[in-house]
Structure 1
Amino acid sequence: MFIRLSRKGECGVMKDSETKKSIKQDAARIAALLTDSDYPICITGAGVSTDSGIPDFRSPETGLWNQEEAKELSKPGAFRISELTLDEKMELFWRVGYKLGKKIMKAKPNKAHKILADWEKDGIMKSIITQNVDRLHQKAGSQNVIEIHGNAFEAKCMFCGGSYRLKDVMRRYKRKKRAPWCDVCAGFIRPNVVMFGESTPSETIQEALVEIKQADLALVLGSSLIVYPANYLPVIVRKRGGKLVIINDQSTDLDKVSEVVVNASITRVMKEINKALN
């Protein structure tokens, strides 16, 4: 399911080309909001992990879904409705997914991940709701993380639901150069992540809602806020009287209802916020 909110323009958005002074001023404003908040939470998207070497999905030149071979997988219901057969789709999925999987398995947390983990330890940040499947928040030390799109380090059979470790399945693909099959039922194996057109498990949404309904501040990092449910979670915070802060390299549909919007390097801005807090 996908929800697109009406775009209201880009007034007041700071571009990365603006001065270091501007970034410091906005970082100070965000630090003040965090300090004044009773229950701040963070919502993260692919942009948080680009400095760890993992591509995001929608950047014009480098985004995964803008790569020619991956476009078929970016369609809603990619595994259900397509001109390709299931065999062809799985072969395509693994050609694309194997390259991305190698990057995810080698990736290390960047400074933004580490700052968020430190904030949790210090009681500044209560929880993280992430669209990312790379587990870099956990690797950085964050404990209260809700993964609304699953976890790429786990894999499952599409038919019997059998569980596998991604690294083991990737070894099979590397050795045989074909989509891996389940040991039990010979069904196709895929990472345990939510693909386009698939629903986030209801229990995961409920976990996220518990946090969202307590939040009086949502810090959105590296998300285009296009895909449901991540795009609606900040709306709930706003409707309940909370405040929004968005740091992303591109504008989003919620910019106009946010306290602060910064279109700049997430790592750079997070460092400045951390300095302001300390």
Structure 2
Amino acid sequence: MVIADIEAAASQLRQLIDSASNVVAFTGAGLSTESGVPDYRSKNSPWTRYTPIPFDLFVADPAQRVEAWRRKFAMDDLYADARPSRGHSALSQLVQAGQLAAIITQNIDDLHQRSGVGPDHLIELHGNGTYATCLTCAQRYELPPIRRAFEDTGEAPRCVWCGGIVKSATISFGQALPTSVLKAAQAATLACDLFIAIGSSLVVYPAAALPVLAQRHGAKLVILNGEATPLDRSADMVLRGDIGTVLDSATRDP
């Protein structure tokens, strides 16, 4: 069933959340577009100009690492002023009210955290773009000093502790998801009785397998997105409309 009317969609979502005992939200790029963060598949997306460097090339080629950091900082500048959207705030309210057990996100923009969601309720499948880590020893690095050094020298950063390659703490194309993160996402999915996929195209695997996993283990699957997804036919309910408006309406007190 596809519901396109905003108020009807919000009402249905509210009822499902209220009647569920364990709710998991799965969020994609569509949640953050209201915040000014560009998604990957929109027409004229800046990601087409600053395409991420595949992981194997990043590791193998120093010149590719330099280019990867150049593109990284160029993209960061495009959404430097991004703030949590109405959708982020609505999900944070549900977490704080005890009605949302976990948020599994494909997003790397840190906006869930900035909306007030703590690490106990957030699983970042694709990492976080607001800091960097050493690929060898996992030492964390903040971005401002890395950027200053990069702009001064034109060289990609190396770890000061072990000499390893330093990379944005995101999962690049061709890079394996950390086993612990994937297991946490699967555990949260298996425990829920309502799985809400929000703003995701549901085409990137293994993340896109989670809604299917939830439904196969008895959870209701709701998809909230502005466009059709490959899982719409099998979903228990499809809510089609502006994500921020639907989530804001669904969580607002009557």
Common topology (TM > 0.5): yes
User: Equivalents in 2 of 1:206, 1:188: separation in Å?
Assistant: 26
Deviation at 1:165, TM superposition (A): 1.3
Alignment of 1:176 with 2:159, yes or no, is no
- For the Cα contact (< 8 Å) 2:126–2:170, is it kept in 1? yes
Give the secondary structure class of the aligned counterpart of 1:213.
Answer: helix
Misfit runs of 4+, over 6 Å: none
Q: How does 1:53-92 map to 2 (within 5 A)?
A: 53-62=36-45, 64=47, 67-70=48-51, 73=53, 78-80=54-56, 86-92=61-67
Percent identity between the two aligned chains:
31
Residue in 2 that maps onto 1:108: 83
Alignment of 1:266 with 2:249, yes or no, is no
Alignment of 1:239 with 2:216, yes or no, is yes
Alignment of 1:215 with 2:196, yes or no, is no
Residue in 2 that maps onto 1:256: 233
Alignment of 1:96 with 2:71, yes or no, is yes
Structure 2, gaps ≥5 residues long: none
Deviation at 1:95, TM superposition (A): 1.8
Residue in 1 that maps onto 2:168: 191
CA change 1:38–1:253 in 2 (3 A) is same
Match for 1:221: what amino acid? I
User: Equivalents in 2 of 1:250, 1:61: separation in Å?
Assistant: 17
Match for 2:184: what amino acid? E
Give the secondary structure class of the aligned counterpart of 1:244.
Answer: strand
Q: TM-score, normalized by length of structure 1? A: 0.82
User: Equivalents in 2 of 1:95, 1:148: separation in Å?
Assistant: 24
Alignment of 1:134 with 2:117, yes or no, is no
Deviation at 1:105, TM superposition (A): 5.2
Residue in 2 that maps onto 1:36: 19
2:93 maps to which of 103, 109, 118: 118
- For the Cα contact (< 8 Å) 1:157–1:190, is it kept in 2? yes
- For the Cα contact (< 8 Å) 2:55–2:175, is it kept in 1? no
Q: TM-score, normalized by length of structure 2? A: 0.89
Give the secondary structure class of the aligned counterpart of 1:151.
Answer: strand
Task: State the Cα deviation string for residues 221-264 of structure 1 (Å, max 9, x = none).
Answer: 11111112210111111101211111122221111111222332
Give the secondary structure class of the aligned counterpart of 1:26.
Answer: helix
CA change 1:105–1:187 in 2 (3 A) is farther
Match for 1:41: what amino acid? V
Give the secondary structure class of the aligned counterpart of 1:268.
Answer: helix
Task: State the Cα deviation string for residues 171-194 of structure 1 (Å, max 9, x = none).
Answer: 222333443333345544211111
Count of matched residue pairs: 252
Structure 1, gaps ≥5 residues long: 1-11, 16-21
Give the secondary structure class of the aligned counterpart of 2:68.
Answer: helix
CA change 1:155–1:119 in 2 (3 A) is same
Q: Which moved more, 1:246-255 or 1:39-48?
A: 246-255
User: Equivalents in 1 of 2:139, 2:224: separation in Å?
Assistant: 38
